Amino acid sequence: MSKAEPKQLLLNDVLIDFASLKIKVAGKWCAIEAKQLQLLRLLIAQKGQAVTRDKIMDAVWPDVVVSDNSVSQLVTQLRKSLSDDKNTAYFIRTIPRVGYQLIAQVNDAPTILEKVVPASPRTSALFIFAGLVLGALFTLLSQYLLAPEQARLDYQYQSRLTSAPGAEVFLRYSPNGRYLAFSQSNDQQSQFDLAVYDNQSKTVHSIKNSGYSEEAPVWSPDGKWLAYFRYDPISCDIRVMSVENAIETWRLSPEFRLTRCQQRHGPTKLHWVDERTIYTTHWQDEQPRLIKYTLSLSPSPKLEAQQVVGDFKPLAFDISVDNTLLILEKSAGWYTLSEVDLNTKLERRVIKRSRHSHAPLLLDSERGYYWLGDDALRRYGYNGNKQTVHEPLGFIADIAINPQTGDIAHAEGHARINLYQIELDLNTEQLLKSAQQLSSSSRMDMLPAVSLDGQQSAFISLQKRGITGFTHSEVWLKHKQRKSANLIATLPSDITPKYLLFSPNGDNILLADQLHNIYLINTFSRRLVPIISGFEQLNGVHWAQDSHSIYYQAKNPQGQWQDWRYDIQLTSNTLVKDNAPLETLDDDHLLWQLNASYIEYEKHVSSFLAAALEQQLPLSQLLPSLSLFKPAVFNGGVYYVLRQGHQLRLYCYLTTQKRNVFIKELGVYGYDLDINLNISSSADGTHVVFSQVDGIETDILLHKATKAETQ
């Protein structure tokens, strides 16, 4: 009689329950699809051996004809369920050109009886005697030797601290925990004032409303000074003011200019780690760099030196009082979170890799923990464990920890991001009609794509966490001759859109996600069909002129690029060329033929514009703007947005005429959100659609730290 298959297995530290279609990851039960468990059973049965794709197709789809893409997708889904990363695999390893191999430890699920070791007759008396002695000792010394573990922190929502029009961001607690400094939108929401919430009096004090924009306040370690960015129409300073007296007098305190800063893009936070050291970032050598300022405070604050630290390229970072740096960087489409000891060799210790930026970012007061405000407010451990504190109705803009109580304050709110369309006569440089709103203001609409003939526009409509607790992403289509847009696809929750790409005939749209999967949407049938998946990186995705095929490059496990072709009629992918050169800007790929799928797209556009406009725009002004707002190329030029302070301006550079044309103001963008802003254009440049942030509303919420009982 054959041995019955176990209902439960332990895979590394993940408990698999085959009977109830559930898995337990990091102490939490989650549902898992039956096909994923079928694949898992097959890999377990062949543990240590490479299982071919053909064998997987025969086992999981015995009576159905499927493609390799189905296998790749299923493996990707299973890895996601197990919280496995194929780059640092602990469960499933990819065997190039063969298939997949299970590398996890497989054990029977532990039971209570297995944990009990029966005593033999010869040792029973000894164990009884030893037990009595140890029991007495434990009774006498339990309060010292067996003191319970320190209870973990738990959090309870307390209240809102602010409720005013506009945004409250850049939160920072004072060292004594009494004050919370932040930047608050002025009445016109065109700039920021400095404000402080007093925990003692429960009152908000406005301490700087000079008519300029004061942003990103930070306290000195002794709490006697407050540093911040100050923007005026033509310059930016880092300033310091005294806050040693009563809070009612702070607004009258003199301020000292510490140094100039970059006026051309929005500020990151300042980090004042000890009496003489402040860290921040600015753009240098075409990339963001970590900057260290050395200063003195006596007799008045002044800058003594500044230097670039290491080779870091921070998108966000935080530094503890012992000079531990937690830094978020981006490379090859991956966001990497690393810890660095600034006192030693500046070596990175990678903590987490993700396709998402996960900002805001904050170190916890307890070593080995940090906070992220992505789709929820969470506390993470370096070991991967996480604690969800709060799920917002909108997005989380910033986080601050009270150093004395452990309380968490965070800014939470909504952004109105709409799409606008304009028509231009590039010969006369005139708008044919004023900008028209393309989408609804009730959601965040972004990632516009315009068909080559300019007759259609597609875009992503995103409703971040709502009353239902879910994030909804949809694809909408607007025809030029129709008043309203139509829904053509609702996206599964695991798809994070990256860009849209129309076919030349306008009948189909490609949707790429952050995991390098490509989906096809037919504008008539309105079906979302996965067509390309399983690759680590893609480049140069583009349509054939007849709209029947899609060409793209994919990187194989050996790091070599391959040319591929997808046939829409045959619904199949075919390898065209192995070990191919990377498609980039050259005689065969002119600038206007590139699109957002090209890895070096922004680099080529910025280099082109920098060379064309070197007498008008410095590179340090252009690059941050293009990083914030992706440009659009067409066969006669480039549309791009230039950010100057908080003001966004739309320009068009005409390549043939070698002229830079100002199109229109796009309003104010006072605080950087983790969203995709971009422009799209028809092939001739006469029809343009662009993203516009029409307003950001945030309030500050407080969560009290409590001690949870130890189980």
Whose tokens are 């410095």? That residue is 618
Please state, for a pLDDT cut of 90, what percent of the chain lies above it.
Answer: 36
Q: Which CA distances in Å does 609 have to 450, 617, 654? A: 22, 9, 10
Residue 627 in domain: no
Nearest-5° angle of CA 19, CA 22, CA 26?
Answer: 140
Closest CA to 70 of 81, 60, 84, 82: 60
Q: How far is CA 126 from the centre of its chain?
A: 60
Confidence of residue 238 (pLDDT cuts 50, 70, 90): very high
Q: Residue 425 pLDDT more than 70?
A: yes
What is the DSSP secondary-structure string of 394-430? SEEEEEEE-TTT--EEEEEEEEEEEEEEEEEETTTTE
Least confidently predicted of 43-57, 226-240, 353-367, 591-605: 353-367
Residue 517 in any domain: the answer is yes
Give the pLDDT score at 467.
40
Can the peptide bond before residue 360 be classed as cis, meaning omega within 30 degrees of 0?
Answer: yes
With H, G, I as helix, E, B as strand and everything else as coil, classify residue 87: helix
Confidence class for position 240, pLDDT limits 50, 70, 90: very high
What pLDDT is stored for residue 342 in this prediction? 92
Q: Answer whether 276's CB lies under 8 Å from 290's CB.
A: no
Do the bridges between strand 629-630 and strand 677-681 make them parallel or antiparallel, or are there none, so unpaired? parallel
321 contacts 274 by C-beta, under 8 angstroms: yes
pLDDT of residue 62: 80
CA–CA gap between residue 342 and residue 314 (Å, rounded): 14
- Establish if 532 belongs to a structural domain: yes
The residues facing 700 across adjacent strands are 411
The parent domain of residue 427 ranges over 415-599+674-695
Tokens found for residue 237: 């300073």
CB atoms within 10 A of CB 294: 12
Given this model, what pLDDT does residue 2 score? 40
- Upper half-sphere CA count for residue 291 (Cβ side, 13 Å): 22
User: pLDDT band at residue 14, thresholds of 50, 70 and 90?
Assistant: confident
Helix (H) or strand (E) segment spanning residue 482: none
Q: What is the pLDDT of residue 59?
A: 87
CA–CA distance, 275 with 227 (Å, rounded to integer)? 12
Residue 581 clears pLDDT 50, i.e. is over it: yes
Domain termination site, one of 58, 80, 108? 108
Could you say which DSSP state residue 603 is in?
H
Number of domains in the chain: 2
- Say what the pLDDT of residue 267 is: 60
Please list the helix, strand and coil fractions of the chain in percent, rounded to the nearest 5, in that order.
Answer: 15, 45, 40
pLDDT at site 76: 86
User: What does the pLDDT read at residue 602?
Assistant: 84
CATH number at residue 425: 2.130.10.10
Residue 21 is assigned to a structural domain of this protein: yes
Residue 75 burial (10 A CB sphere; 0-12, 13-18, 19+): buried
175-211: per-residue pLDDT in tens?
999 999 999 987 666 788 999 999 999 999 999 887 7
Spatial distance between the Cα atoms of 389 and 529, rounded to a whole number of angstroms:
36
The whole-angstrom separation of Cα 169 and Cα 151 is: 31
**Nearest-angstrom CA–CA distance, 400 and 517:** 36
**CA 638 – CA 609 distance, rounded (Å):** 8
User: Mind listing the pLDDT tens digit for each residue in 287-314?
Assistant: 788 999 999 988 889 999 999 999 999 9
Sequence-separated (6 or more) residues with CB below 8 Å from residue 706: 153, 154, 155, 156
Residue 522 located in a structural domain: yes
Q: Residue 137: which pLDDT band, with cuts at 50, 70 and 90?
A: very low
* Residue 326 bridge partners (DSSP): 318, 339
What six digits make up the tokens of 231? 């923007």
Which residues are paired to 306 by β-bridges?
293
Residue with tokens 């045959």: 570
pLDDT at site 5:
62
8 Å CB contact between 392 and 377: yes
Residue with tokens 């004032």: 193
List the one residue out of 613, 604, 600 whose CA is nearest residue 651.
613
User: Is it the case that residue 111 has pLDDT exceeding 60?
Assistant: no
User: What pLDDT sits at residue 141?
Assistant: 42
> 410 falls in which pLDDT band (50, 70, 90)?
very high
Residue 291, helix vs strand vs coil: strand
pLDDT at position 278 over 90: yes
DSSP labels, 62-83: TTS---HHHHHHHHHHHHHHHT
pLDDT in tens, 680-700: 999 999 999 998 888 888 899
Token representation of residue 110: 């532990």
With respect to residue 298, please indicate whether it lies within any of the assigned structural domains.
Answer: no
Pairing of strands 277-284, 287-296: antiparallel
pLDDT of residue 263: 60
Furthest C-alpha separation in the chain: 103
Please indicate, yes or no, if residue 26 is contained in any of the structural domains: yes
Q: What are phi and psi of 382, to 5 degrees?
A: -60, -25
Residue 469 has pLDDT above 60, yes or no: no
What pLDDT, on the 0 to 100 scale, is given for residue 523?
92
For tokens 């159905």, what's the residue?
Answer: 64
Q: Is the peptide bond before 288 cis (omega within 30 degrees of 0)?
A: no
CB 275 within 8 A of CB 222: yes
Torsion of CA 379, 381, 385, 390, to 10 degrees: 0
Buried/exposed code over 300-324 (b: 16+ C-beta within 10 A; e: otherwise)? ebebeeeeeebebbbbbbbbbeeeb
Q: pTM of the full predicted structure?
A: 0.70
Q: Tell me how far apart the alpha carbons of residues 26 and 385 are, in angstroms, rounded to a whole number.
A: 6
Confidence of residue 547 (pLDDT cuts 50, 70, 90): very high
Residue linked to tokens 């496995």: 84
d(CA 405, CA 537): 45
CATH code at position 101: 1.10.10.10
What three-state secondary structure class fits 607?
helix
Each residue of 241-261: b (16+ CB within 10 Å) or e? bbbeeebeebeebebbebeeb
Residue 519 CA to its chain's centroid (Å): 21
- Tokens coding 22: 């559930």
* SS3 at position 377: strand
Is 23 domain-assigned? yes
The whole-number pLDDT of residue 58 equals 85
Residue 133 DSSP SS3: helix
Long-range contacts of 666-669 (CB under 8 A, 24+ apart): 666/641, 666/690, 666/692, 667/692, 667/693, 667/694, 668/189, 668/190, 668/191, 669/266, 669/628, 669/643, 669/693
pLDDT at site 113: 37
Over residues 15-60, the pLDDT tens digits come to: 888 877 888 887 778 888 888 888 988 998 888 788 988 888 888 8
How far is residue 649's CA from residue 666's CA, in Å, rounded to a whole number? 5
Helix, strand or coil for residue 137?
Answer: helix
Q: Dihedral sign, CA of 451, 454, 473, 378?
A: positive
- What is the Cα Rg of the chain in Å? 29
CA distance 318 to 231: 23
% the chain with pLDDT above 70: 86
pLDDT of residue 201: 92
Range of weakest confidence among 128-137, 273-282, 576-585: 128-137
